[in-house]
Chain A
Amino acid sequence: MDEPVRIDCQNVEVWYGSKQALHGISIRIPSNRVTALIGPSGCGKSTFLRCLNRMNDLVPGARTRGSILLDGEDILSPATDVVDLRRRVGMVFQRWNPFPKSVFDNVAYGPRIHGIRDKARLAEIVEDALRKASLWDEVKDRLRSSALELSGGQQQRLCIARALAVEPEVLLMDEPASALDPISTARLEDLIGELKERYTIVIVTHNMQQAARVSDYTGFFYMGRLVEYDRTQTIFTSPAQEQTEAYITGRFG
């Protein structure tokens, strides 16, 4: 890979109890690019995504092996502080999950738990994050109303703003558009294109057109293995593996 690498994974394996969910995943994720992970459901793409901020730690009985270097530091090491890690590696979930609080308090949540109390500073961070998530114009007059009153697409962008407010370097997105209508999806995809200027983005999707539209690199997962990983254009025009081709042409999955 001829680009600066942000996350370098070597031989990552995950077990849930005695069941192995990931087999020897090695992948290098470039800085300030969008990397899409595709594959049929249950292929391990979400499991892999959740390794990158150690959310798998929360699953009882889950074990992870291998090494994942974030800017050269091994985040799988027992010495890793997962709280700091998750501040640097933000995550957006498949089903938007704003807290039952106001729009403002949702975005200010991260900065607040990290100790920012100053009101002016918080207001600044919130506005900045909402602008980056291109939500500011829609919600600037209703910052105090409940986040649950926003539309689905707005709630999802609010969750992105919430993640951006803690200034992460990497943004993980787990099928962020799978429950959105087409218009909201299009807006979200535009947003992803804007965000890659500042962030390294890893997005899991089962929508191949979406992967083709938004990503620079694409990895194809199948049955817990990374079958193929390359530039998105290459994957979608001349994949090296037959399985990849079969999947992207819709023959299974």
Chain B
Amino acid sequence: MRAKRVWSALGRSWLVLSTVLVVAVLVLFLVHIARQGWQVMGWEFLTDRPRRGMTQGGIFPAIAGTALVSLLTVVFSLPLGVGAAIYLTEYAPDNRATRWIRLAIRNLSGVPSIVYGLFGVVLFVDLLGLGTSLLSAGLTLGLLTLPWIITASEEALKSVPRAYRDGALALGATRWQAVRTVVLPPALPGILTGAILGLSRAAGETAPILFTGVAFFLPFAPTSLSDQFMALPYHLYILSTQHHSLEKVRPIAYGTALVLVGLVFTLNLTAFAVRSRMRRRLETAR
């Protein structure tokens, strides 16, 4: 009986300690980055370009590059992903072909990001002749985020009550009319959530853009789809491992990390807010 109690106490403390440890580590990391990064933060840091071999100035071209490539990513993957989700929830028959699609989506979400990078090099950079460019990188990231967009959109579409579809179809709506008029509108916030999360993922990825379009240093933001671009994650990588005087650029590296984490967290929190607002609205609708 005593042994039983001891085991139980030990076990429960394992659970609590794991949780405390994980949370503490997360908080410590973030606080560390925030405190160190804050020291270089300022208007100039966000709007100026890197100067004096990146030891001074700001990171504006990297911010602009990341913003552009992420937007481009979503421009590619959102229509494709929403289309696929609509097909799967509203049209696809329950057969072998559909199961293949689902299997492919699950597998794609597990493909390492560097493998997407290799695929992008062969397909977009070489075979399609797009070169290392904003476009190639955006397309590569578009494919990477596709499974996430599909999954989020599918969830959003499934949360729309069946009664809406039945109601529309019973009035003589065609399937597409029903989807367009009564299924998509209530699903939009959920789809938006997926898009924002896709944006955040694209902003944080490095490996897929490594060989498809990102550049070590450029003084300006890209002006066309065929330009190379700087990106926040790659800039952080350069500053922390590839620079000739690592110690000198460390404050700027911290600043870059803070901007990147801030960007990604803001996007995630936005998605979270949209999702919980949508849940509340759907509940009152019932």
A residues adjacent to B (C-beta < 8 A): 53, 55, 58, 60, 83-87, 90-91, 93, 95, 97-100, 109-110, 113-114, 148, 159, 162-163, 166
Q: Could you give 9 example pairs across A and B, Cβ below 8 Å?
A: A55-B166, A83-B174, A86-B170, A87-B171, A90-B171, A97-B161, A97-B167, A109-B173, A162-B167
Quick one: given A83-B174, A100-B285, are A93 and B169 in contact (CB under 8 Å)? no
Task: Give which listed residue, A60, A93, A97, A114, contacts B172 with CB less than 8 A.
Answer: A114
Main secondary structure of the interface of B (DSSP, over half): helix
How far is it, in angstroms, between the C-alpha of A233 and the C-alpha of B172 when the chains are bound?
A: 35
Q: For B182, list chain A residues within 8 Å (CB).
A: 99, 109
A98 CA to B166 CA in the complex, in Å?
11
Give A60 to B98 CA distance when docked, in angstroms: 14
* Chain B residues, Cβ within 8 Å of A53: 170
Chain B: minimal CB distance from A129 (Å)? 12
Residues of A close to B18: CB separation below 8 A: none
What are the 7 A-B residue pairs with the smallest beta carbon separation, nearest first?
Answer: A87-B172, A97-B163, A91-B170, A110-B171, A86-B172, A97-B167, A113-B177
Q: What chain B residues lie within 8 Å of A55 (beta carbons)? A: 166, 169-170
CB distance from A213 to the nearest CB of B (A): 25
Q: Which residues of B contact A114 (CB under 8 A)?
A: 172
CB–CB B166/A97 < 8 A:
yes
A113 to B168, CA, bound (A): 9
Among A84, A87, A159, A166, contact of B167 (Cβ-Cβ < 8 Å): A159
* B172 and A110 contacting across the interface, CB-CB below 8 Å: yes
Closest A residue to B182 by CB, please name it: A99
Residues of A within 8 A of B181 (CB): 99, 109, 113
Report the minimum CB–CB distance from B282 to chain A (whole Å): 9
B204 at the interface (CB under 8 A from A): no
In the complex the two chains form, what is the Cα distance from A60 to B94 in whole Å?
8
- Whether A109 touches B164, Cβ cut-off 8 Å, given contacts A100-B285, A148-B285, is no
Complex interface: chain A residues within 8 A of B167 (CB): 93, 97-99, 159, 162
Give the complex CA separation of A90 and B182 in angstroms. Answer: 18
Closest-CB distance, B275 to chain A (whole angstroms): 18
